[in-house]
């Protein structure tokens, strides 16, 4: 989405319309100066004031323009919000007994060991209610968006965790700030993601504001609504193997494990042992069977992925790749490096990109879901790369994490700081290769999980075995390819078969590169190997809007921005009220142009929206437009429309 400052009047209105889908409360907070000051510190590249904030809101919300009904009558305060809160949790009883025997257990992102817990589920929920009320600041919010949910969860955990060890480590954040210091890693360690300005800061007991965490289940599902907690509390534990997020501890408490992800970071699975299984029932695959992960190795984190894609999808991808003729996308000799210009003698495979094929897009979206993203962010992924390895072809061991060797690139690749780089790779095999055929993916820093230590062979023995085998003459003796086979036969290596996938991480949960994630593609000794991989980034990738730029290049950008003409439009806080005086309006409904906005009947609460001059609001009864309201700048920043 481009900035909305330069387009002509009608299209401008359209583009602003997207802004309207942002829940009212965000706008409410902005208009009251709650967020904007704080975030300007974290957003040095975005022009200050409303313009900057507006733009990033636009870019983050455009993917899912669902209208929310916004009903928040500020005049009703102060009142107790019991009913609203119970509605949000979807619990009927006033005592929150649903949470009686529930224990909330917190983990740091990627950490199988928990760092703190709250064993009194009801107390936790009461504390959560307090923070919900504080967030509304006198208003009983009828809806919470996911950022608000995350904010009050963060605050509540900060308040109630016992055995609280959930502070940041080393240089990441401020250890003495406890959980809040973990969630907000500070300016130096917080990449600015596309939805950064949507985050709702948490206020500490000392009155300091900080960024909230996100919370995921062990399987990566992001908690975006309060009633998901109720669901977790109610779900019978151990009734099926799929709900592995739930454990009954020795004391009879049912544990709900939540994995806290600091602002600006991305979720990572937290394996505890080789062979551990993670079912992902929330990710629908191509088959009836549920997708699941099996841990192959802990350091680096490598997972076998089952039922991830089908043979049909595999065939579609290969056929399309072979048929592709476009120079930028067709299968040809692979290149390496940040600028993708150099042919590397240690990478002899051929590859092409499938960015927009139907199957490719479907598979990419599935990858994001499996990785714990609750939204698909095109800018966080490369195209699906389709790889072909003919006999003898290979790719020597390397990292997928891109190293900025010269330091001359504008993109900030330092993912441990505020930069962005590849953090996860999902590799899909699309050919069946036998044990002697080669073509495995090897992790030279990891051992094969199924070979007892006493049975491991050394590299020399491996080469002897290769030379004595039927394919002993495929590779030149003493070549790097032959050396690589020695690794493949002694270290963790994964044999391709159609519809098998592998997931591994190139970063630690704190964003720093994981050097142990080094891996290679073993030479194919027989047949041919097709594979596809998706690299997923922890920020928008190079060249995309919102991708991190090194500080020394930032000034250049902002001066370019300053040079472009900007038009300022007045934002209006409008309120629509049904006074009840006009009986024909008793079932009125509010529309933004033709888009349903919310009920405005005589029993409905007033509806507040952020809107702009020139916007058209319709009041309908049935199909008939009873009244049209055009927002007029002259009437000021705050306008009330009563019917």
479 binds ligand NAG (CB under 6 A): no
- Judged by beta carbon, residue 222 or residue 388, the one nearer ligand NAG is 388
Residues in binding contact with ligand NAG, number by CB under 6 A: 10
Rounded to an integer, what distance in angstroms lies between the CA atom of residue 635 and that of residue 539? 41
Residue 350 beta carbon to ligand NAG: minimum distance, rounded to whole angstroms: 6
- Residue listed under structure tokens 């072909």: 388
- Judged by beta carbon, residue 55 or residue 117, the one nearer ligand NAG is 117
Other beta carbons within 10 Å of 642: 12
Burial tier of 450 (Cβ tally within 10 Å: 0-12, 13-18, 19+): exposed
- Judged by beta carbon, residue 98 or residue 506, the one nearer ligand NAG is 98
- Judged by beta carbon, residue 122 or residue 613, the one nearer ligand NAG is 122
Give the interface segment with ligand NAG, choosing from 97-105, 212-220, 293-301, 475-483 (CB under 6 A).
97-105
- Judged by beta carbon, residue 204 or residue 379, the one nearer ligand NAG is 204
Residue 237 beta carbon to ligand NAG: minimum distance, rounded to whole angstroms: 11
Q: Where are the alpha helices (DSSP H) in 522-564?
A: 551-563
Contact at 8 Å (CB) between 537 and 507?
no
Rounded to an integer, what distance in angstroms lies between the CA atom of residue 442 and that of residue 488? 5
526 binds ligand NAG (CB under 6 A): no
Nearest to 262 by CA among 159, 162, 181: 181
Residue selected from 6, 272, 335, 390 as contacting ligand NAG according to rule CB under 6 A: 390
- Judged by beta carbon, residue 348 or residue 611, the one nearer ligand NAG is 348
344 binds ligand NAG (CB under 6 A): no
Residue selected from 97, 134, 343, 457 as contacting ligand NAG according to rule CB under 6 A: 97
Draw the binding track, 244-263, toward ligand NAG (x: CB under 6 A; -: no contact): --------x-----------
Residue 133 beta carbon to ligand NAG: minimum distance, rounded to whole angstroms: 24
Residue 186 beta carbon to ligand NAG: minimum distance, rounded to whole angstroms: 8
In 3-state terms, the chain is what percent helix, strand and coil (to 5)? Answer: 30, 25, 50
- Judged by beta carbon, residue 84 or residue 177, the one nearer ligand NAG is 177
Rounded to an integer, what distance in angstroms lies between the CA atom of residue 59 and that of residue 195? 8
Residue 252 beta carbon to ligand NAG: minimum distance, rounded to whole angstroms: 6
Give the interface segment with ligand NAG, choosing from 93-101, 195-203, 219-227, 453-461 (CB under 6 A).
93-101
Rounded to an integer, what distance in angstroms lies between the CA atom of residue 597 and that of residue 607? 9
Give the interface segment with ligand NAG, choosing from 173-181, 476-484, 535-543, 613-621 (CB under 6 A).
173-181
169 binds ligand NAG (CB under 6 A): no
Contact at 8 Å (CB) between 160 and 118?
yes
Rounded to an integer, what distance in angstroms lies between the CA atom of residue 570 and that of residue 615? 11
Residue selected from 101, 224, 599, 639 as contacting ligand NAG according to rule CB under 6 A: 101
Residue selected from 8, 66, 162, 176 as contacting ligand NAG according to rule CB under 6 A: 176
Tokens of 312: 């049909």
620, β-bridge pairs = 589, 625
100 binds ligand NAG (CB under 6 A): yes
Burial tier of 551 (Cβ tally within 10 Å: 0-12, 13-18, 19+): exposed
203 binds ligand NAG (CB under 6 A): no
Residue 181 beta carbon to ligand NAG: minimum distance, rounded to whole angstroms: 7
Residue selected from 195, 276, 304, 350 as contacting ligand NAG according to rule CB under 6 A: 350
Rounded to an integer, what distance in angstroms lies between the CA atom of residue 324 and that of residue 353? 9
343 binds ligand NAG (CB under 6 A): no
What residues contact residue 594 under an 8 Å CB cut-off, 6+ apart?
Answer: 618
Give the interface segment with ligand NAG, choosing from 123-131, 169-177, 402-410, 501-509 (CB under 6 A).
169-177
Residue selected from 54, 129, 177, 347 as contacting ligand NAG according to rule CB under 6 A: 177
DSSP state of 187: G
Q: Where are the alpha helices (DSSP H) in 249-357?
A: 311-323
559 binds ligand NAG (CB under 6 A): no
Rounded to an integer, what distance in angstroms lies between the CA atom of residue 367 and that of residue 372? 9
Give the interface segment with ligand NAG, choosing from 95-103, 127-135, 468-476, 634-642 (CB under 6 A).
95-103
Residue 348 beta carbon to ligand NAG: minimum distance, rounded to whole angstroms: 8
State how beta strands 254-261 and 102-108 pair: parallel
Beta strands in 371-471 (DSSP E): 384-389, 395-398, 422-429, 441-443
Give the interface segment with ligand NAG, choosing from 135-143, 171-179, 444-452, 490-498 (CB under 6 A).
171-179
Contact at 8 Å (CB) between 511 and 415?
yes
Q: What's phi and psi for 592, nearest 5 deg?
A: -90, 115
Residue 248 beta carbon to ligand NAG: minimum distance, rounded to whole angstroms: 11
Rounded to an integer, what distance in angstroms lies between the CA atom of residue 338 and that of residue 581? 66
Contact at 8 Å (CB) between 547 and 379?
yes
Residues that bind ligand NAG (CB under 6 A): 97, 100-101, 174, 176-177, 252, 350, 390, 528
């Amino acid at each position: 989405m481009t900035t909305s400052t330069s387009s002509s009047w009608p299209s401008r209105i359209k583009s602003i319309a997207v802004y309207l889908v942002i829940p009212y409360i965000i706008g409410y907070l902005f208009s009251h100066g709650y967020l904007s000051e704080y975030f300007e510190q974290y957003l040095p590249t975005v022009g200050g004031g409303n313009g900057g904030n507006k733009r990033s809101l636009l870019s983050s919300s455009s993917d899912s323009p669902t209208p929310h009904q916004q009903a928040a009558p500020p005049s009703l305060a102060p009142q107790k919000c019991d009913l609203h809160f119970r509605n949000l949790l979807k619990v009927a009883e006033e005592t929150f007994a649903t949470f009686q025997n529930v224990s909330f257990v917190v983990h740091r992102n990627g950490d199988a060991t928990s760092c703190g817990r709250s064993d009194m589920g009801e107390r936790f929920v009461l504390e959560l209610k307090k923070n919900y009320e504080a967030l509304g600041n006198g208003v009983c919010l009828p809806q919470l968006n996911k950022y608000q949910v995350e904010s009050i969860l963060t605050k509540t955990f900060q308040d109630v965790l016992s055995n609280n060890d959930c502070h940041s480590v080393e240089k990441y954040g401020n250890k003495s700030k406890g959980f809040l210091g973990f969630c907000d890693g500070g300016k130096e360690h917080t990449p600015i993601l596309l939805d950064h300005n949507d985050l709702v800061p948490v206020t500490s007991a000392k009155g300091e504001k900080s960024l909230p965490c996100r919370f995921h289940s062990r399987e990566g599902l992001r908690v975006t609504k309060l009633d998901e907690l109720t669901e977790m509390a109610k779900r019978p534990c151990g009734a099926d193997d799929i709900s592995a997020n739930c454990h009954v501890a020795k004391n009879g408490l049912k544990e709900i494990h939540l994995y806290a992800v600091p602002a600006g970071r991305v979720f990572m699975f937290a394996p505890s042992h080789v062979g551990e299984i993670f079912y992902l029932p929330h990710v629908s695959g191509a088959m009836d069977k549920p997708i699941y992960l099996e841990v192959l190795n802990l350091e680096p984190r490598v997972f076998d992925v089952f039922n991830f894609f089908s043979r049909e999808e595999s065939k579609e991808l290969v056929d399309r790749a072979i048929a592709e003729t476009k120079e930028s996308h067709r299968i040809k000799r692979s290149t390496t490096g940040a600028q993708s210009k150099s042919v590397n003698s240690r990478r002899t495979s051929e590859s092409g990109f499938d960015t927009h094929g139907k199957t490719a897009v479907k598979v990419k979206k599935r990858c994001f879901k499996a990785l714990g993203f609750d939204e698909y962010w095109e800018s966080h992924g490369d195209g699906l790369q389709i790889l072909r390895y003919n006999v003898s072809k290979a790719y020597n061991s390397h990292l997928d994490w891109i190293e900025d060797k010269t330091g001359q690139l504008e993109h900030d690749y330092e993912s441990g700081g505020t930069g962005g780089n590849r953090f996860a790779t999902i590799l899909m095999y699309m050919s069946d290769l036998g044990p002697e055929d080669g073509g495995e993916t090897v992790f030279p820093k990891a051992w094969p999980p199924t070979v007892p230590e006493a049975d491991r062979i050394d590299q020399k023995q491996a080469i002897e075995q290769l030379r004595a085998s039927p394919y002993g003459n495929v590779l030149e003796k003493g070549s790097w390819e032959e050396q690589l086979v020695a690794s493949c036969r002694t270290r963790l290596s994964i044999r391709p078969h159609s519809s098998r996938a592998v997931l591994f991480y190139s970063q630690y949960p704190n964003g720093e590169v994981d050097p142990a994630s080094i891996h290679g593609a073993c030479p194919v000794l027989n047949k041919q190997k097709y594979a596809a991989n998706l690299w997923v980034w922890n920020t928008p990738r190079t060249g995309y809007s919102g991708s991190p730029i090194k500080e020394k290049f930032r000034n250049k950008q902002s001066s370019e921005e300053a040079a472009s003409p900007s038009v300022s439009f007045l934002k209006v806080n409008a309120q629509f009220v049904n006074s009840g005086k006009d009986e024909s309006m008793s079932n009125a409904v509010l529309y933004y142009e033709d888009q349903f906005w919310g009920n405005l009947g005589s029993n409905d609460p007033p509806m507040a929206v952020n809107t702009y001059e020139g916007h058209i609001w319709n009041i309908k009864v049935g199909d008939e437009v009873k009244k049209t309201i055009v927002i007029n700048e002259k009437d000021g920043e705050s306008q009330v429309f009563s019917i």
